Structure 1
Amino acid sequence: MLTLQFSAQDLARTRFGHSPLWEVVTSVEALKDPGGKPLHLGWARETRAALPAVDLSLLFALVPIPTLYVPSFLTPVPQTESPSLEQELAVLTATPAETVRADLALLDGPLPAPLVALHRDPAGELARLADQVLAYWEVALRPHWSRIRRLVEGEILYRARSIAHGGAAELFAELHPQVSWSDDTLRVRHRYYEATRTLDGGRGLVLVPTVFVWPGVFSQSTPPRQPGLVYPPRGIATLWERPRDRAPDALAALLGRSRAGLLAELDSPASTTELAARTGMPAPTVSHHLTTLRAAGLAVSHRTGRTVLYLRTPLGEALLAGGATP
């Protein structure tokens, strides 16, 4: 178990970030061990068939199965809310040689040939690693990035509402089954890792929702690196497969089949365009129904950049559940 002790300043500086490089690393794990991440099995089959005939040996060697440890230089906590992959690769390729070698020394057993070369020539091999990450990204993640990004943006919106409603206690209480919070202390149940850390210096914790980390969590807490917690976003089950009609018949009779169906889809935040694609309804029709649901207090909207995301309210949750008190 990892135990992280917070100060008031640490809580004040806790924030969210989304890392394309973390998605790359955790998706490689899902690709190499699809049985351990069955939610992504369809994606793994499609990606494996589409991967180009290029050398990905260094990237794949850095993500062993079982994945007990990934060298930390490959999994930096995002320095901003939403860095681009190119920005993260710039940080990666600038990693000092001594840091690369120190991280590789934490791997169990003898190093495979690609990592021996990395240990011998960190600067040259990091540049090669960046090229491999980009080649992998183009096939494995870029075609799905808008979907992944919308799910993560919705997760951050939902958690922001949790903080506004119940503070850090509510945020961490619902974050993940392996995560718990009490007495200014965050506990993360890791099977093979145990440590107690004090978040000194008021650096806070960066929460990094990542779709391919499902069903587990990863953490980074070894000084002097920025502490981070990587966890799957809420609504992850909707990422690849979305049932078209999940509204109860009684609710459909009350609201109409289309509005009830849209309310059922809003278990995670979604845009008008995404809802139109899911349901097959024209976007103007979806927009009209969402306006009605919002006016009735069953949904709320929030602008993220150029996108407006919709989410069920507690009243909408209760109505969908069958009339329980919100």
Structure 2
Amino acid sequence: MLEYTLAESDLGDVRFSVSPLCQMSLSLRSLKDPARYPLQLPWLQRIEARRSGLDLEILLALTNDRLWTPDLLTPRPSSPLTRIEDELDGLARADPGRFVHQLSALHGIVPAVLRGASGKVLERSVDALNAYWESCFRPDWLRMRTLLESDIAYRGRQIAQAGLASTMNGISLSMKVAGNAVSLQLRHSSDNSQPVAGRGITLVPTMFTTLACAPNDRREPPMILYAARGQGGMWQPERIASDAGAIELLGVTRAGLLTALKEPASPTELGIRFGVTASAVNQHLRALRIGRLVTSTRHGRSVLYARSELGSALLGAPSTGQGQVP
């Protein structure tokens, strides 16, 4: 078990962020053991043809049989707007000796395909990851990032409504917050307590973990990677049953959107969930807003829509204040 202990000053420095490199590096787990990630099997099928030109031998050597990866491949994101170009550039400028050391600690011995001058090993690994990103991740990154950002927006609303501790306790069955400690039940890990000591804790949602996990090296900045919510409908359009009367009045699409807006969502997220363009979703949402069935509020870079009390009344759903977006 790993335990992060927080001082009072650390409580205000718990933040959420997205890391493209973390996402891509952890996805190597699904390439190595697809059965462990059934929700991502449709994605693995989507990229099957794209993988043909990749250096899979090197990519698969970047994770071990326990599905761990070197900490340098899962850096703590420095910004909510982290770009893959910046993260890969940071990896390319890392200490090659440290990278090879992490590979050796991961496997017990450096895999044959990654032996040689440490600088060349790091260069080949970065090149393989860059090709993997361009071929398999970039075409789907908007969809993935939207899901991850939607998870963060959901957690932010939870924190506003129920508090930080309650929200963190609901993120993963393997994570628990009690008093001034955040504990993680990790596979194949001895007990370890680590003070946050003013460095803050960053929580990073991902599609490629089943339980919350943390850096292997306890000297790394405190970070917790956890399974993002909403992955079940990631790769196929969502179908939501709507009230027959609402369908008769609004049409199938607008009634479905109104039903889906029990929780606030952005047009991009809704477009991905329903398999339609964001511009089409925007047109429907504008009509629903004119009819006072939904409300809109700017949240960071996005506009979030939520069902109003009038919209809930139309569906015969209980009003729970959904129209207010924290």
TM-score category, normalised to shorter length: 0.7 to 0.9
**For residue 105 of structure 1, what is the aligned residue in structure 2?**
104
Distance in 1 between the 2:104 and 2:213 partners? 20
- Aligned partners of 1:3 and 1:321: how far apart in 2? 46
Q: Which amino acid aligns with 1:23?
A: Q
Deviation at 1:250, TM superposition (A): 6.9
- Cα distance, 1:320 vs structure 2: 7.5
Measured after TM superposition, the shift of residue 314 of structure 1 is 10
Pick from 225, 231, 249 the counterpart of residue 230 of structure 1: 225
Matched, 1:275 2:274: no
Cα RMSD (Å) of the superposition? 3.1
- Correspondences of 1:1-326 after superposition (within 5 Å): 1-67=1-67, 69-117=68-116, 121-213=117-209, 215-220=210-215, 222-249=217-244, 257-266=252-261, 270-273=265-268, 275-276=270-271, 278=274, 282-283=280-281, 285-291=283-289, 295-296=292-293, 300-305=296-301, 307-311=302-306, 323=318
CA contact (8 A) 1:211 1:232 kept: yes
Conservation of the 8 A alpha-carbon contact between 2:26 and 2:69: no
TM-score by length of 1: 0.84
Residue 77 of structure 2: SS of its match in structure 1? coil
Contact kept in structure 1, 2:2 and 2:194, CA below 8 Å = no
Other structure's SS at 1:15 match: strand
Question: Structure 2 unaligned runs (5+)?
Answer: 322-326
Does the aligned pair in 2 maintain the 1:180–1:187 contact within 8 Å?
A: yes
**Cα pair distance change 1:197/1:319, threshold 3 Å:** farther
Separation in 2 of the partners of 1:284 and 1:108? 50
Shift of 1:141: 0.8
Moved more, 265-274 or 26-35: 265-274
- The secondary structure found in structure 2 opposite 1:247 is coil
Instruction: Supply the AA of the counterpart residue of 1:288.
Output: R
The structure-2 alpha-carbon separation of the partners of 1:283 and 1:252, relative to structure 1 and needing over 3 Å to count, comes to closer
Q: By how many angstroms is 1:270 displaced? A: 4.0
What does residue 324 of structure 2 align with?
none
Counterpart-to-counterpart distance in 1, 2:217 and 2:3:
12
Tell me, what secondary structure is at the counterpart of 1:90?
A: helix
Aligned AA (2:7): S
Q: Distance in 1 between matches of 2:23 and 2:213?
A: 12
CA distance in 1, matches of 2:123, 2:312: 49
Aligned residue-pair number: 318
Gap runs ≥5 in structure 1: none
Deviation at 1:137, TM superposition (A): 0.8
For 2:126 and 2:253, the matched residues in 1 are separated by 46
Q: Is the 8 A contact 2:296 2:305 kept in 1?
A: yes
Indicate conservation of the 8 Å contact 1:6/1:198, yes or no.
no
CA distance in 1, matches of 2:119, 2:157: 43
